[in-house]
Copies of this chain bind each other. A is one copy, B any other.
């Protein structure tokens, strides 16, 4: 079954990690995979472009079906392999509402992470402004505060009592943020959520290898 699946991915990329966690939850092992290096720009090579015309990872294929957007791939995997592994969509309308809301809402945080982390990569030197850097960091800080305020309303998981697609999708950017120095003291509820969810077997088994080897990331977010 997993032999029909191909995944091109990069280690530590939150979108890639989502798909890897979903595959693990659905007990799909032994799929074809290709680990790419962003530094070498390997996601722009033909073999990946043939799956994902944007030249981005994840690039995901199941049989002839291509689903490259990570949130879409998680929804697709849950739908196609509903009866394998635990159900990742809760039964109650209350948890479902929160699951769908958080799994899409996380894109706001993701956008603001990119605005800060990728600023010098995306904005040419002659267009850079300290005021823009400051504004982007403030927007990211406001976003972290919002997510901190969301935690543990009916938790402990992202959408309530159960581990759902919301956790598959939201956990990787939260883990990425803590790795980049987000203060555990200033964000105790996000940290508590992180400490709980990182013990989930699917997450533990798929932890980015270079994060294990070098657990300390940059201190980029420590004053946010």
Q: A residues engaging B (CB < 8 A)?
A: 53-54, 62-69, 71-73, 75-76, 79-80, 89, 93-94, 96-98, 100-101, 103-105, 107-108, 111, 123-124, 126-127, 129, 131-132, 146, 149
Contact = CB atoms under 8 A, between A and B. Distances in A.
A186 B124 CA distance: 30
Chain A, interface SS category: helix
A98 B75 CA distance: 12
In the assembly, how many copies of this chain are there?
2
A87 B62 CA distance: 24
A211 to B, nearest CB: 26
A97 to B, nearest CB: 3
11 contacts: A63-B93, A64-B94, A65-B96, A66-B101, A69-B101, A69-B105, A72-B105, A75-B75, A76-B96, A124-B131, A126-B131
Given A93-B65, A132-B127, A146 B100 contact: no
Contacts of A89: 79
B96 A80 contact: yes
Given A69-B105, A127-B129, 5 more contacts: A53-B149, A65-B97, A69-B100, A69-B101, A107-B107
A12 B76 CA distance: 30
B97 A62 contact: yes
Given A127-B132, A129-B127, A93 B80 contact: yes
A22 to B, nearest CB: 12
A72 B164 CA distance: 14
